[in-house]
Chain A
Amino acid sequence: MSAERQSVLRVLLILAVTTLGTAPGNAGAAASPPTNSGQNLAIIVNQSNPVENLSSTELRRIFLGERSHWPNGRRITLVMMQPGEPERDAVLREVCRMSEKDFNNHFLHGLFTGEVFASPKTLASPVGVRKFVFNVPGAIGYLRTSDVDASVKVVRIDGLLPSDRDYKIQVQARSAK
């Protein structure tokens, strides 16, 4: 649990840094549309997937491998980008609320104990992620909004789309690290 706490602290620290990093004059920065350095991250599923909306909790469970099937009976396949990619970092931070190490440990542990049925698939590029989700009906992954196209479906998180104002999952630019 200490690791979880540590990761929470780390996230808080990053948030604080991010908040501090925005100038006092830019009080409305959170409301402003995402820039190149900080885009919203869309959660994508296969077009055949009937799911339209997920809560933050459901999303977290899915990304932690704690939920194995969609409501239509399809097996859930989690698609992640390679470690170190900003998108992966954003998901670990905003959705899983874990560090990279904790995330890996979680899956190792889960697979060992049988709580988790399959480890995430790792793709090297956003295009790979998109194609994977396109090919696999039960796949779920994430992409920057600029990488999304019609071959995949973006699901709402807590009723919000990435273009919505209060959407929470954002990618931070590398320079911001």
Chain B
Amino acid sequence: MSEKTKDAAEHSTLRAIPLMRIVSGLLARNSYTLLLLLVFGIEVGVGVFVIRDLHTADVEAQRMYAGSVLGLRRIGELQYQAQETRRSTLYALTTNDSNLQVEYADQSREADRRVTDGIREYVEQARIAREVDLGKRLERDWSAYLHVRDEVLASILEGSTREAVQFDLTGGVPSFERVRQDLEEVKRLYDEQASERLAIVAGSSHRSAGRLIAVLGFTLLFASTSIWAIQRSKMMGAVQLAQLQMDFVASVSHELRTPLAVICSAADNIADGVVEGKEQLTRYGVVIRNQTRQITELVNDILLFASAKDREIRYKLRPLQVQEIVQSVIENTAELVRGSGFVIEQHIAPGLPYVMGDLSALSQCLQNLIVNAVKYSGENRWISVRAVLDHAQSRLHKEVRISVQDRGIGIASSELPHIFEPFYRSPAVIATQIHGTGLGLPLAKNIAEAMGGKLTVDSQLGAGSVFTLHLPLIEEAQLHRAAVVSGLDQLQKQ
């Protein structure tokens, strides 16, 4: 893969990461809506499925009904025409007029032609063996009757009425009875087939209903389970939050109470006139100032975190030199570090490029890390601050890493996933009476992410921790633009 293609791919990956964050945020915020949409979608799917199934069953029922009705009508017509054949033949007996007799013979032959055609059609359309057998038998019996009928007609036309009646009684009646029975059997067969089809349709309908109930039941169960899970998750979240807040309040109260007690005690001593002399008074003043500063810092931390959570902070991003940031942090924490007897080992790689960021925010971020290092170093009073350019990454991913390392108590691997959660404090830490609000690391993390970077941790219990702030490099164009803006600002100031 060429360098350009690689860069493009990396670029698109970079773009995809915020998109994924947005999507996951949306999913988290609109879980109910999404669930409702999902349930709605499933319901629509089930509805379409059921409607289609019912439609198929309906079409099948209609087809069956039409087929049965058509078949029965056809058989009814055949029965009528067969009767008409016989009736017309016998009508010819009622007259001596040859012209009329010929007319009746004609009518009889017309009717018999229709019956013959109907039987042929039935035989042609016969599918099952029973239908074929029945059709052939009907054909045979009808042909036998027609043979007798021809003789009867001939006798009538010849004027031999007695002979005609004899033919009809001996041959016509039994053969016509056989035809009638055949037609009845055809009708019965139609009825049986219709019943079978009806049973099939009913079976299909039952299956449809079963499927419908199963799918609806599943949907209901799924929806209920999902709602329960979401509710539970939210409730657990709320409980956890409430617990964290309670812990926070307790922690903050504790943090406030100590300096307040000191201030109160100092104030009492001054008020009671216990403090004597300027030197003692000055010492008390320093104590009160230090405690007040501690309280102020704590309150500032809380406010900063709260405002960061509300996204009210608008950072002023500008190109910064890494040296400048580290320097600022070291200066800010110098008093604390010195006071605690710590040694800070600095290593800032030479010629580090610019990074884009808000100086005070980044300073705050690193300051929190150093304060933590001081708090959790135990007896080993050594802190290292290193800033290097990460060469392992590609050109687009190049970043500056500023790490704060200590050789303190370290963090258990089970605690690592939680340390960036707001108000979270490890039980072990609480047990060792190390004070804190649980806001330092979340705040530092928020700042790192707001600068387009990230904050990572690598720690081993008992061996110490390394917190690394990853800051992306500023691009040439951005640097140029920033320089222009900065120049304009300076001009405006002048």
Contacts and interface: CB of A to CB of B under 8 A. Distances in A.
Contacts of B105: 131, 135
Chain B, interface SS category:
helix
A77 B158 CA distance: 6
Interface in B90-131: 98-99, 102, 105-106
A137 B106 contact: no
Contacts of B99: 123-125, 128
Interface string A127-143: 01001100111110000
B102 A131 contact: yes
Contacts of B157: 77, 121, 132, 135-136, 139
A75 B106 contact: no
B154 interface: yes
B158 A128 contact: no
A137 B105 CA distance: 14
Given A121-B159, A122-B98, A123-B98, A131 B154 contact: no
A139 B160 CA distance: 13
A161 interface: no
Which of B106, B150, B157, B159 gathers the greatest number of chain A CB atoms within 10 Å? Answer: B157
Given A77-B158, A136-B157, 6 more contacts: A121-B98, A122-B98, A123-B99, A128-B102, A132-B102, A138-B154
A139 B154 CA distance: 9
- A-B pairs with the 6 shortest C-beta distances? A121-B98, A136-B157, A131-B102, A136-B154, A77-B158, A135-B105
Contacts of B98: 79, 121-123, 128, 132
A118 interface: yes
A135 B102 CA distance: 8
B154 A135 contact: yes
Interface residues of A, number: 17
Interface residues on B, range: 10 to 19
A123 B105 CA distance: 14
Nearest to B155: A136
B337 interface: no
B153 interface: yes
B105 to A, nearest CB: 5
Nearest to A124: B99
A125 to B, nearest CB: 8
Given A121-B98, A123-B99, A124-B99, A131 B158 contact: no
A123 B158 CA distance: 13
Interface string B137-159: 00000000000001001100111
A160 to B, nearest CB: 29
B102 A75 contact: no
Interface in A68-113: 75, 77, 79
A138 B158 CA distance: 9
A131 B159 contact: no
Which of A75, A121, A125 gathers the greatest number of chain B CB atoms within 10 Å? Answer: A121
A125 B102 CA distance: 11
7 contacts: A122-B98, A125-B99, A128-B98, A128-B99, A131-B102, A135-B153, A136-B157
A12 B154 CA distance: 38
Given A135-B154, A136-B154, A137-B154, A123 B102 contact: yes
Contacts of A79: 98
Contacts of A139: 157-158
Contacts of A131: 102, 105-106
B396 to A, nearest CB: 100
Nearest to A119: B159
Contacts of A125: 99
B151 to A, nearest CB: 9
B238 to A, nearest CB: 102
Contacts of A135: 102, 105, 150, 153-154, 157
Nearest to A82: B99
A138 B153 CA distance: 12
A132 B104 CA distance: 11
Which of B99, B105, B159, B160 gathers the greatest number of chain A CB atoms within 10 Å? Answer: B99
Contacts of B158: 75, 77, 118, 136, 138-139
